[in-house]
């Protein structure tokens, strides 16, 4: 039996739903019930009927699904698929930062551990950061962790200062303004879309700064026949699939998140066969993290 058929059969047997991030391998996106960005996946995870969620992405995403679904079984095909940016701040470091800024509103990018989320008032994703930050009253001091690039992007858009943590995404940090200029020269007239995790000079060289879900929406509505893509290359699979008449060019084909590529079809099958690896968050941490995630979901 083909791998896909085996996965689909087991999925029915286990009453499971497969969720995949836009950066996962094309073949994983193709067997998923839903593929999307962090915000879309959190929303879907919050509303699924199935008793089992197989989360193909990185660990903090599966953890978010587990926090939102305490009664369900959340599985990751590879528990080693982490996000280095999420690990750039610990709850202890955040508590120390908070102690230096008493009264500040504490905001975390969803790319963070459950322990860090539990220390925060509200979460953001790259898809809703501007909308969420706009709800924080003027005059309030703001701590923003862990991504200094997303933080500086939204802070610049809002025209107010945040206390930023120096975290970053190693994959997006490898995108340079020089590479954007080269791609533009190769594809004159093609709009450039980049992710807000890119450094400021890269964002300034682009036409659009969007979450991965925002990029998929822009690609559909844009009249451009060619688009330059400044983010992890896994998204090219979905862009090409949804827009057969258009061409997409990566700024560089070396922009790959090794953790997003850890999930293979073999691991998804084994995950459903053996019902592992289970993602759980202790309720004393999950309850605090849930408040921060729910605060975000209630806004957007
Ligand atoms: P999105 O929420 O835009 O999908 O981004 C998630 C991520 O990890 C980007 O590196
Ligand atoms: Fe984390 Fe960057 Fe990979 Fe996204 S692309 S999961 S931020 S390391």
CA atoms within 13 A on the CB side of 243: 22
Look up the pTM and report it.
Answer: 0.97
Is the pLDDT reported for residue 300 higher than 80? Answer: no
Location of structure tokens 């993290």: 289
CB-based pocket (< 6 A), ligand 1: 22, 37-38, 111, 125-127, 169, 195, 197, 211-212
Measured CA distances, 59 to 174, 180, 211, 256, 283 (Å): 22, 30, 19, 17, 17
pLDDT at 1 > cutoff 70 = no
How far is residue 97's CA from residue 94's CA, in Å, rounded to a whole number?
5
- Please tell me the distance between residue 83's alpha carbon and the centre of ligand 2 in angstroms: 5
Ligand nearest to the CA of 126: 1
Q: Let me know the angle formed at the C-alpha of 112 by 177 and 173, rounded to the nearest 5 degrees.
A: 15
* Cα–Cα distance for residue pair 248/258, rounded to 1 Å: 21
pLDDT value at residue 235: 98
Q: Residues 150-197: pLDDT tens digits?
A: 999 999 999 999 999 999 999 999 999 999 999 999 999 999 999 999
Is 233 a residue whose pLDDT tops 70?
yes
Pocket of ligand 2 contains residue 58 by CB under 6 Å: yes
Closest residue (by CA) to atom 6 of ligand 1?
Answer: 38
Which atom of ligand 1 approaches the CA of 21 most closely? Answer: 4
Rg (CA), the chain: 19
Q: Please give the domain boundaries of the chain with CATH numbers for all domains.
A: 2-82+260-281 (3.40.50.10800), 86-168+287-299 (3.40.50.10800), 175-250 (3.40.50.10800)
Q: From the CA of 84, which ligand is nearest?
A: 2
Atom of ligand 1 nearest to the CA of 169: 10
Per-residue pLDDT reduced to its tens digit, 31-83: 999 999 999 999 999 999 999 999 999 999 999 999 999 999 999 999 999 99
Please give the number of the atom of ligand 2 that sits closest to the Cα of 258: 3
The ligand placed nearest to the CA atom of residue 169 is: 2
- What's the pLDDT score for residue 193? 98
What the block records as the tokens of 102 is 């008493």
CA distance linking residue 174 with residue 60, whole number of Å: 22
Name the helix (H) or strand (E) containing 140: none
């Amino acid at each position: 039996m083909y791998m896909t058929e085996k996965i689909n059969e087991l999925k029915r047997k286990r009453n499971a739903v497969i969720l995949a991030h836009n950066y996962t391998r094309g073949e994983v996106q193709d067997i998923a019930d839903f593929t999307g960005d962090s915000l879309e996946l959190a929303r879907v995870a919050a509303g699924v009927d199935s008793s089992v969620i197989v989360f193909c992405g990185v660990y903090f995403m599966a953890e978010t699904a587990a926090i939102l679904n305490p009664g369900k079984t959340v599985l990751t095909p590879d528990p080693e698929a982490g996000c280095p940016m999420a690990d750039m701040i610990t709850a202890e470091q955040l508590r120390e930062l908070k102690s230096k800024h008493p009264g500040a509103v504490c905001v975390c990018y969803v790319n963070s551990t459950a322990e860090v989320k539990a220390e925060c008032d509200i979460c953001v994703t790259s898809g809703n950061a501007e909308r969420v930050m706009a709800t924080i009253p003027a005059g309030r001091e703001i701590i923003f962790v862990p991504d200094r690039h997303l933080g500086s992007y939204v802070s610049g858009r809002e025209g107010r200062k945040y206390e930023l943590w120096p975290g970053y995404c190693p994959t997006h940090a490898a995108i340079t303004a020089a590479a954007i200029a080269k791609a533009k020269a190769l594809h004159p007239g093609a709009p450039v879309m980049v992710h807000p995790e890119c450094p400021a000079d890269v964002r300034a060289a682009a036409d659009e700064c969007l979450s991965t879900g925002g990029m998929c929406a822009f690609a559909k509505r844009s009249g451009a026949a060619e688009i330059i893509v400044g983010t992890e290359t896994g998204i090219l699979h979905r862009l090409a699939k949804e827009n057969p008449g258009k061409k997409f060019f990566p700024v560089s084909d070396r922009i790959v998140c090794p953790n997003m590529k850890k999930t293979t079809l073999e691991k998804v099958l084994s995950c459903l066969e053996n019902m592992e690896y289970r993602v759980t968050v202790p309720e004393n941490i999950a309850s605090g993290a849930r408040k921060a995630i729910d605060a975000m979901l209630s806004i957007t």
